[in-house]
Amino acid sequence: MRAAVYHGPRDVRVEDVPEPELDGPDDAIVRVTHTAVCGSDLWFYRGESDRDPGSTVGHEPMGIVEAVGEDVRSVAPGDRVFAPFKISCGSCEFCRTGLHTSCVESDGWGGDNGGAQGEKVRCPNADGTLVRVPDRYADDEDALRSLLPLTDVMGTGHHAIVSAGVDAGDTCVVVGDGAVGLCAVLAAHRRGASQIVAVGHHEDRLALAEEFGATDVVAERGEAAIDRVRELTGGGASHVAECVGAASSMEAAVEVCRPGGTVGYVGVPHGLDGGLDLFSFFGDNVTLRGGVAPVRAYAEELMADVLQGTLDPAPVFTKTVDLEHIEDGYRAMDEREAIKVLVEV
Amino acid sequence: MRAAVYHGPRDVRVEDVPEPELDGPDDAIVRVTHTAVCGSDLWFYRGESDRDPGSTVGHEPMGIVEAVGEDVRSVAPGDRVFAPFKISCGSCEFCRTGLHTSCVESDGWGGDNGGAQGEKVRCPNADGTLVRVPDRYADDEDALRSLLPLTDVMGTGHHAIVSAGVDAGDTCVVVGDGAVGLCAVLAAHRRGASQIVAVGHHEDRLALAEEFGATDVVAERGEAAIDRVRELTGGGASHVAECVGAASSMEAAVEVCRPGGTVGYVGVPHGLDGGLDLFSFFGDNVTLRGGVAPVRAYAEELMADVLQGTLDPAPVFTKTVDLEHIEDGYRAMDEREAIKVLVEV
């Protein structure tokens, strides 16, 4: 089968690789029809994180179940499914409390399971991991395009907002105008926040933030951005979603957070070689809550809204490529030409 | 009047200094009768933090009101009072939500107000800051000794427990066996925690932790301590109070925290020159909540229990000195001979 394979920085090629096969009674084989390139894929693409050359890549699979092991009960061959970026059992202590990313059997895509940027993946713990799309929408391309972000960025943006404690009527700030930040704006709007201040550096993305429900956008940088947010929020917001993971954005997040407030963070921490300066959090009792998003926990809830038509993250896909041309997708994201790239397989 | 004055590392002398005077209509002058040496005083004493030579020091005053400005309503000359380590107005947004440490008029002891380790202090915003002790207990030395820790360590330990979200029936871990950690054990016991695991390095202090309600004590170091706590708690606790503020104790705290749990932290961050390594928090969605403790917010609640006889932090005072011999108190704390030193003025 064909799959994207990492060979080194800025060198992802589509090649023939062995097909994954059922290996246990809880496995499913999914024929991937849609997948995506993630902002976090750029870390290995840019050589900023390690990845073994020869690795299959991608972690946002959507497709059709092709085969299942004998113990799989929740999906059957022919079902339309998608899956989060992490594999989880669905039944351990952590899965049951909605923290699927800390599943005791946690696993990921790539390796023997195959990367999601390929024609097929093996999904261990299929009952716990795969989310079945109702048959009615199984071939509805618009619905599928709107559901695909639930594999990662929409669930992650939602986790930032949940972690920041945003509720109806609240004022919140979203730091970051990437796909996750934009999805956080959607999530804040969905939860009924009254004021949503989106902070970013790109006019086109901030325009999309406004479409998604941002009441204010801030394109200034550095101290000017912080001053502007404080002005807009009367001194800072009690709920701040940090959707980048860089040292500068984390610093901005705490600086626009009102004393006693909460920074919800979901960006993979990077560029924090010096670690996080805790003093700014400590002095004003700003809570830091969040982490790697348990997007599986949110899948049904968000899917219901997507299928109702009240939630639509599809506009984050500003470019579509087919699998054979996925490197063009990486390039477009690397050069910030695209917010997020959908890959048709 | 006489007061302790900082001259340099390990050089605190009691000297004659000018008396503070009323300077505004909201001020009070308090004749200090009891005060204490704080673990955080050791940072300047050891030369680990900056302090201007010639500064008066100390931030845990208890005494008798001597004079008040014309607008002061809640206390009058002759009243027995104590005050937290921070001065706060009691009426701004942050004071009203219990975050007195972020008061818009926040001020501290020392400087023109005089240090609490001296015969008198001026207290600006007296109505917001001073806590009046009921007359019945005004000269009850046992009660006063038990109330004095409410100026700092008892409120701080309580804040760690509140921040960690400890509630009745919970399992919690307290990292640190200093006065704050011991008070956190008391606070956890008071809130009805079922299992309280105290982690420290000193047998005498851990014995006191057991008196205070710890169900388990862990004296091992490094990985052995973490393994032992995990064993005792079946894989970590959802509520961890970090009561030291050092890099190593913060790392230990997150390592004994169950995925999805909360580390409540109150130790002034120090030795974190490399910053906080966020990855361990991020990967398992461990919340970091806390900061400088708004002990004023907890004063009435804790005082009620102390006066009822159901809460008694007095045993943290393992040594008593008079003001003229305060340097012996500093030395005893520096050498860990005393947990906390009470100073009779």
Q: What is the pLDDT of residues A299-339, one digit of tens each?
A: 999 999 999 999 999 999 999 999 999 999 999 999 999 99
pLDDT tens for each residue of B269-323: 776 665 677 888 999 999 999 999 999 999 999 999 999 999 999 999 999 999 9
Q: What tokens does A339 get?
A: 């917010």
Rounded to 5 degrees, what angle do the CA atoms A182, A184, A189 make? Answer: 100
The answer to whether residues B58 and B109 touch, using CB atoms and an 8 Å cutoff, is yes
What's the CA gap between B129 and A203, in Å, rounded? 48
Amino acid at B215: T
Checking if the pLDDT of B268 tops 90, the result is no
Rounded to 5 degrees, what angle do the CA atoms B53, B58, B59 make? Answer: 130
Pairing type for strands A257-265 and A287-290 reads parallel
Pairing type for strands B195-199 and B216-218 reads parallel
pLDDT tens for each residue of B9-66: 999 999 999 999 999 999 999 999 999 999 999 999 999 888 999 999 999 999 999 9
- A49 band by pLDDT with thresholds 50, 70 and 90: confident
pLDDT tens for each residue of A160-172: 999 999 999 999 9
What's the mean pLDDT when you consider all of chain B? Answer: 96
Residue B220 CB neighbours (<10 A)? 13
Q: Which residues 64-103 of B are in CB contact (within 8 Å) with A?
A: 94, 97, 99, 101-102
Q: What pLDDT score does A273 carry?
A: 60
Chain A contact probe: residue of B288, B292, B296, B298 with most A CBs at under 10 A: B288
Determine, for residues B102 and A259 on separate chains, whether the beta-carbon distance falls below 8 Å: yes
Q: What ipTM was predicted for this assembly?
A: 0.95
- B239 band by pLDDT with thresholds 50, 70 and 90: very high
Q: What tokens does A30 get?
A: 């999914």
Q: What pLDDT score does B32 carry?
A: 98
Determine, for residues A94 and B260 on separate chains, whether the beta-carbon distance falls below 8 Å: yes
pLDDT tens for each residue of A78-135: 999 999 999 999 999 999 999 999 999 999 999 999 999 999 999 999 999 999 999 9
pLDDT tens for each residue of A265-293: 998 777 666 567 788 899 999 999 999 99
Q: What distance in Å separates residue A73's CA from the closest CA in chain B?
A: 28
Q: What distance in Å separates residue B281's CA from the closest CA in chain A?
A: 7
Amino acid at B301: E
Q: What tokens does B211 get?
A: 């008196």
Residue with tokens 């899956």: A83
What's the CA gap between A57 and A52, in Å, rounded? 10
Helices then strands, counting H and E runs in chain A, come out as 12, 18
B246-250: list long-range contacts, CB under 8 Å, 24+ apart: B246/B270, B246/B271, B246/B272, B247/B271, B247/B272, B247/B274, B247/B276, B249/B175, B249/B176, B250/B276
| Radius of gyration for the alpha carbons in chain B, expressed in angstroms and rounded | 20
pLDDT tens for each residue of B71-109: 999 999 999 999 999 999 999 999 999 999 999 999 999
Amino acid at A72: V
pLDDT tens for each residue of A173-200: 999 999 999 999 999 999 999 999 999 9
Q: What is the largest CA-CA distance in chain A?
A: 60
Mean pLDDT across A55-62 = 98
Phi/psi of residue A255, nearest 5 degrees? -75, -25
3-state secondary structure of A2: strand
CA distances from B163 to A263, B104, B261, B292 (A): 15, 22, 11, 11
Q: What pLDDT score does A329 carry?
A: 98
Mean pLDDT across B264-273 = 78
Determine, for residues B276 and A278 on separate chains, whether the beta-carbon distance falls below 8 Å: yes
Checking if the pLDDT of B151 tops 80, the result is yes
3-state secondary structure of B26: coil
| Nearest residue, CB atoms, A292 vs list B94, B283, B294 | B283
Query: Which domains does chain A carry?
Result: 2-151+295-344 (3.90.180.10), 154-290 (3.40.50.720)
